[in-house]
Amino acid sequence: MQGLEGARYPNTWDCAMTILKRDGVAGFYAGVVPRLGRVIPGQGIIFMSYDTISMHVAKYLDDGTNKVTVNLSGVQSKEIRPLSCEQGLLNRADGSARFSHGSTSVVASVNGPAAAKNRRQEKVDAATLEVVFKSDKGAPTARDKEYEVILRQTFETVVYLENFPRAVISLTVQVVEDDGSLLAVAINAVNLALLDAGIPMRSLVGAITCSILDDGQLCLDPSLTEGDNDGILTSLTTGLLNESQYFASSEICRSVLSFVRIAQESKFQKAAA
């Protein structure tokens, strides 16, 4: 399978954890990022944007089944899990798609553009993009709400919302199974669902999760177990910083954790005396 050429995008989006620099190089090879540019250690999502999509989408989809499965290997420090997708699987949606990375699977549906049900949903000059993220655990969590915001902000930049003033486009993301790289899989599923619905977009959006291991190796598409071993609960940055600065900050954080541990040990020793 031939890969698409990567392109340089000066305004490449910052990720949730500032993984990709604005001047980074984004590439796409059936879901793999061949050239990552400058990456800050941690874990997050890499977003890729393309100006042309219609001539390429047909290369990866079988017109007879609307399904494609790709198994790629030899990617940096580990093999990327098998990729599979299917479009048009929901009859009651204007567009739908299922995207899977290994065991992680997400179904996305699109309804609209449709008239807004109330005035609060209306925008005079553009459509409103609504996103509902449903996990496989039942009740919505704070992470689900965070994913809704990320998905909405991501696709508001590529969908021609100005073509549908006072309308609403509804995106529903249902997690079938979560075995890591969930947000990346959700982004890819929504992208295919929008294409299936015929929603005009400025570019194609793709995503993949990457992690930097302790030995400096790049790990693409980590599983849930690998992702849980990252050791970082929250990474929030304002502005840009280079790799050495990020590592220095991480070491300072470790020293703070060591101080807390010593303080607790001292407290228990005094209590036991």
Convert the chain into a string of H (helix), E (strand) and C (coil). CCCEEEEECCCCCCCCCCCECCCCEEEEECCECCCCCCECCCEEEEEEEECCCHHHHHHHCCCCCCEEEECCCCCCCCCCCCEEEEECCCCCCCEEEEEEECCEEEEEEEEEEEECCCHHHCCCCCCEEEEEEECCCCCCCHHHHHHHHHHHHHHHCCECHHHCCCEEEEEEEEEEECCCCHHHHHHHHHHHHHHHHCCCECCEEEEEEEEECCCCCEEECCCHHHHHCCCCCCCCCCCCCCHHHHHHHHHHHHHHHHHHHHHHHHHHHHHHC
- Percent of all residues in the chain with a pLDDT value above 70, rounded to a whole number: 60
pLDDT of 186: 94
pLDDT of 2: 27
Assign 210 a pLDDT band (cuts: 50, 70, 90): confident
Name the nearest CA neighbour of 212 among 20, 40, 67, 38.
40
pLDDT digits (tens, 9 = 90+) for 120-152: 878 989 999 999 999 887 788 888 999 999 999
Does residue 188 form part of some domain? yes
Q: How many independent structural domains does the chain possess?
A: 1
Assign 11 a pLDDT band (cuts: 50, 70, 90): very low
Q: Looking at the predicted structure, is the pLDDT value of residue 197 above 90?
A: yes
Does residue 113 form part of some domain? yes
CA dist 180 and 45 (Å) reads: 12
CA dist 191 and 193 (Å) reads: 6
Q: Looking at the predicted structure, is the pLDDT value of residue 15 above 60?
A: no
Residue whose tokens read 């902000």: 153
| C-beta of residue 221 within 8 angstroms of C-beta of residue 79 | no
Assign 214 a pLDDT band (cuts: 50, 70, 90): low
Q: Looking at the predicted structure, is the pLDDT value of residue 19 above 60?
A: no
Return the higher-pLDDT residue of 23 and 117: 117
Assign 31 a pLDDT band (cuts: 50, 70, 90): very low
Does residue 216 form part of some domain? yes
Return the higher-pLDDT residue of 207 and 94: 94
pLDDT of 133: 96
CA dist 24 and 18 (Å) reads: 11
Does residue 218 form part of some domain? yes
What is the extent of the structural domain holding 207? Answer: 83-272
pLDDT of 79: 57
Assign 96 a pLDDT band (cuts: 50, 70, 90): very high
Q: Looking at the predicted structure, is the pLDDT value of residue 233 above 60?
A: no
Does residue 147 form part of some domain? yes
Does residue 56 form part of some domain? no
268: CATH: 3.30.230.70
Does residue 26 form part of some domain? no
Least confident of 40-49, 59-68, 79-88: 40-49
Does residue 249 form part of some domain? yes
pLDDT of 213: 65
pLDDT digits (tens, 9 = 90+) for 146-191: 999 999 999 999 999 999 999 999 999 999 999 888 988 999 899 9
Q: What is the mean pLDDT of the chain?
A: 69
pLDDT of 234: 58
CA dist 205 and 28 (Å) reads: 10
Assign 8 a pLDDT band (cuts: 50, 70, 90): very low
Least confident of 76-80, 93-97, 218-222: 76-80
Stretch 61-71: mean pLDDT = 43
